[in-house]
Structure 1
């Protein structure tokens, strides 16, 4: 199965990469932040480039707007101003050419919904510029179950238009729950996302974005703490808490109380990962794109080996 893995520098991530280069189809590292003047902040790793090169592993670096705390204002300014938009497109093309990357990935988040037409225009300009340079264009899309132009997080992303200006669309079918406890990506949610995506985008352009992490919600907090698979398992083990597998959601969960504060944990493991894989053939899509290397249940690699 075509399995692309997102990558970010974190403890253990490079060792994980070294161990599994032969099992990864494409590496998508979180490397280039957009800057207010349309240039890029280069956060690439020479170590990772060397490992990829030695193992003939293609790199599609991510261009993102996380280099600035004012993420939504930054991306609005860049894509709504035709001059800055053109500079940004040229910066991305030059980056891809000078580093000999076969393709790139656009991963913009917190794009204001009112910038829908600007995002479409940016992707159109970028697509034709990169095609002229013989590069592969990919985009990471927030999960949608319908077209809602007013949605605060995904409203700017018009699947039907954006799909015309990308070779590969990674539909990030996770973060079903964030402000309150619940599954990261229940099987029902993932199906709903794919139902809509495959009606709006040619299925062969779609890769299913899969999570391999967990969240720990403390009661009274609006934001969860992100856990790797190991952290989720260790927390339960250290507290003597039983992990339950929710058959409806097809995901693991448990609760615990520390200092009178109740915590709810949901996390992805090999079993929940395996449960979603048949959707690739059922929906006729091209593969999976996993966020991210270093957070996963090691048994996932055994599953991928058997496919």
Structure 2
């Protein structure tokens, strides 16, 4: 989820913690728990700082080790220790429990996005992405804001957010049912489907689709239950072209391939260089595919420029590559 949603979820968990009798009878502990759940609900996204280094490091590592099984144990211990160092705590165990819940909850809700997480590391680096909730979901964020508003009106914090979370369970069930209906409709529309990736949008009844069939990739949209195919690409295995083999060694393309589950490739040969481009098919936006990896190589297959990330125009991509125009 986005940062704002994780923050309000931290407030929600800190509020639900007041139903714990130990915390309810200790205002100082309740305050420490709220601080802890706010920090715990953000901690796994500390890897966002990798974006300051470069996109390749960020793409390869974001929602990786910081969202892993060991991290679920390490983050609560670190946060509890820091809070206890600066704050008088009467019950470390209950503080640790609620911080652990906040960290777990952060990783858990991220699994429902199309982006997903590597939550099963170190056992596997496979991305777990259920694709039923947008990274920012207006309904989820709005319900949390409504709950915070009720707190200012004097509502009981624990029961208020407990009720909201019961409603959210129902909301998630509805989204799973929507996804199941969309996948069923796709299977009835396209023969020999092997994989369907759903990417929810900000609109409740509109989803992006990336579909892998036996011989083709289909990019589409589900709107009000109807399936619309927008683009079709022939499914071609990656060849052993020397430009591609050399490009795979570049950190930008390697990062892209470690993250993207469905993409198309192309190799363009110019008078003085080659250009290898891989395009993720999940994020079509107004006819453009913004998540790409591009590697430019000289005639001797040495990398001279490369880029990976989200880019929304060819002109901006050329500026990122800097060295050689297409």
Q: Which TM-score band applies after superposition, normalised by the shorter structure?
A: under 0.3
Name the structure where helix makes up a greater proportion of residues: 2
Q: Larger relative contact order (C-alpha < 8 A, sep ≥ 6)?
A: 1
Q: Which has the larger radius of gyration?
A: 2
Name the structure where strand makes up a greater proportion of residues: 1
